[in-house]
């Protein structure tokens, strides 16, 4: 059957017709440290089986190590410099207002999913938070039997908008809260049901990182989540699918011994050193649901307002505790494959155990009370797992052995690289 099916060309890569359904799961915030813990202690037997019988490595995610850029890298098969989604926010220097980057019109190039749908495949994209839904579903006509929805609005799905309706009774689940592991588990349960009932060729299931922001790998909450995740991916694999697991970014603890967050308030520091109003610091991790991390991440952008130069900002960073790198736009874009037209004048990256905010007065940390701050965004959180439940063919074994893999190659490996 697959002999008659076309090769699908997307953003410079050729994809063969899948031999069996391909499910890519993005474990949001799925730092390799969680797998290290749970593979070692036997909590995730299905994933352990994938590692034994299939393919597993640690790959490079896209920078900055945030949710939107990496989800778009995965579903387009391209780096941030190509697809253009470099964070949740960028600064519009015409208005000096931050612009949310979740609109499909900001995503450059096609998604692998939409191109397969055009070629006649049935496809599914499900995301936990609705902010990703429109970009994941870019170019997708759900009237043709495709499905695209979010757990956040699972209770409001319509056939016209999402290709599926009555999701909660169908799954026998309640509407999950925004700060719950069920928000991710609903994505997986719906993927399992759709795979069983409709047998689509491609599924992309994108979770949320509330669990990883909240719990370290050695905490019970994290284990409970990974056990349920493991059960779900085991059921996907049992439906004769190629199951590929990766993450958008990792996660690190950024608190001191007393449990308080180690924050560099960069806008406050630059105002003090260079003068108020000379720079604007934007935290591209910001979205509508930040109680679990206070909009604090490991990567921020500084835009200049005309009175100081990028080098003055970089010089002002010298010797400041918590800073790993401060780079001008060109250097940052060259090093990390980021789009220059959406980069700040200076990119500042935090050390593994620090995070960076703008002004102390603009971040609400009340949601963190009683919890250590765990967050992401820097190079320290840009290593992610890449696991496939089936062995690689010879060409892709050679490919894997001869280069550092990028997480945006996961669809390529899952579709083209498996036996
Ligand atoms: Zn994320």
Could you report the per-residue pLDDT of 117-175, keeping only the tens digit for each? Answer: 999 999 999 999 999 999 999 999 999 999 999 999 999 999 999 999 999 999 999 99
Question: Is 208 within 8 Å of 129 (Cβ atoms)?
Answer: yes
Give residue-wise pLDDT tens across range 261-298: 999 999 999 999 999 999 999 998 877 666 677 789 99
DSSP structure class, residue 404: P
Q: Ligand 1: distance of its center to the CA of 66 in Å?
A: 6
Q: How far apart are CA 347 and CA 80, in angstroms?
A: 15
Q: Ligand 1: distance of its center to the CA of 165 in Å?
A: 27
Q: What is the DSSP string of 332-379?
A: HHHHHT--GGGS-SEEEEE-TT-EEES-GGG---GGGTTS--EE--SG
CA–CA–CA angle 32, 33, 36 (5° rounding):
90
Q: How far apart are CA 155 and CA 118, in angstroms?
A: 28
More confident residue, 172 or 100: 172
Tokens encoding 163:
């290709």
Tokens encoding 311:
């080098």
**Would the pLDDT of 49 be above 60?**
yes
Q: Ligand 1: distance of its center to the CA of 193 in Å?
A: 24
Q: Ligand 1: distance of its center to the CA of 212 in Å?
A: 9
**Would the pLDDT of 333 be above 70?**
yes
pLDDT at 293: 77
Q: Ligand 1: distance of its center to the CA of 67 in Å?
A: 4
Is residue 245 classed as helix, strand or coil in its secondary structure? Answer: strand
More confident residue, 101 or 337: 337
| Ion ligand 1 residues within 5 Å by Cβ | 28, 67, 209, 248
Lowest model confidence (mean pLDDT) among 28-37, 128-137, 246-255, 361-370: 361-370
Q: Ligand 1: distance of its center to the CA of 28 in Å?
A: 4
Q: Ligand 1: distance of its center to the CA of 285 in Å?
A: 9
pLDDT at 364: 83
SS3 content of the chain, % helix, strand, coil (to 5): 40, 20, 40
Query: What is the average per-residue pLDDT within 309-325?
Result: 97
Q: Ligand 1: distance of its center to the CA of 62 in Å?
A: 12
What is the rounded average pLDDT for all residues in the chain? 95
> 299 to each of 34, 266, 274, how far by Cα in Å?
22, 11, 20
pTM of the full structure: 0.96
More confident residue, 90 or 8: 8
pLDDT at 206: 98
Tokens encoding 340:
């220059």
Query: What is the average per-residue pLDDT within 407-412?
Result: 98
Tokens encoding 11:
């953003």
Neighbours of 388 (CB within 10 A): 26
């Amino acid at each position: 059957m697959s002999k008659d099916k076309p090769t699908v060309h997307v953003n410079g890569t050729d994809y063969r017709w899948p031999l069996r359904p391909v499910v890519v799961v993005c474990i949001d915030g799925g730092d390799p440290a969680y797998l290290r813990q749970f593979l070692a202690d036997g909590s995730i037997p299905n994933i352990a089986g994938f590692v034994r019988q299939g393919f597993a490595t640690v790959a490079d995610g896209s920078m900055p190590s945030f949710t939107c850029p990496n989800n778009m890298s995965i579903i387009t098969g391209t780096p941030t410099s190509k697809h253009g989604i470099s964070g949740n926010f960028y600064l519009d220097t015409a208005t000096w207002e931050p612009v949310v980057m979740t609109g499909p019109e900001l995503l450059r190039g096609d998604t692998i999913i939409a191109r397969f749908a055009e070629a006649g495949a049935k496809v599914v994209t499900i995301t936990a938070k609705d902010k990703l839904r429109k970009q994941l579903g870019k170019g997708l006509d759900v009237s043709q039997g495709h499905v695209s929805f979010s757990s956040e609005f699972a209770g409001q799905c319509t056939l016209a908008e999402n290709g599926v309706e009555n999701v909660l009774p169908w799954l026998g689940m309640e509407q999950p809260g925004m700060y719950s592991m069920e928000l991710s588990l609903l994505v997986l349960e719906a993927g399992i049901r759709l795979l069983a009932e409709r047998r689509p060729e491609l599924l992309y299931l994108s979770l949320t990182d509330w669990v990883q922001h909240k719990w370290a790998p050695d905490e019970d909450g994290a284990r409970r989540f990974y056990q349920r995740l493991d059960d779900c991916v085991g059921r996907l694999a049992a439906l004769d699918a190629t199951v590929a697991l990766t993450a958008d970014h990792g996660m690190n603890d950024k608190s001191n011994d007393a449990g308080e967050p180690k924050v560099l308030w960069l806008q406050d520091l630059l105002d003090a050193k260079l003068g108020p109003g000379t720079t604007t610091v934007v935290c591209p991790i910001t979205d509508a649901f930040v109680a679990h991390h206070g909009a604090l991440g490991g990567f921020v952008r500084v835009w200049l307002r005309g009175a100081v130069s990028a080098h003055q900002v970089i010089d002002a960073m010298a010797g400041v505790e918590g800073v790993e790198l401060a780079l001008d736009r060109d250097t940052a874009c060259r090093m990390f494959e980021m789009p220059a037209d959406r980069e700040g004048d200076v990119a500042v990256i935090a050390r593994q155990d620090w995070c960076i905010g703008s002004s102390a007065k603009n971040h609400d940390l009340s949601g963190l009370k009683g919890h250590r701050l765990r967050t992401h965004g820097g190079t320290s959180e840009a290593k992610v797992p890449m696991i496939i439940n089936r062995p690689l063919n010879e060409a892709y074994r050679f490919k894997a052995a001869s280069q550092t893999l990028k997480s945006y190659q996961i669809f390529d490996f899952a579709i083209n690289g498996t036996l």
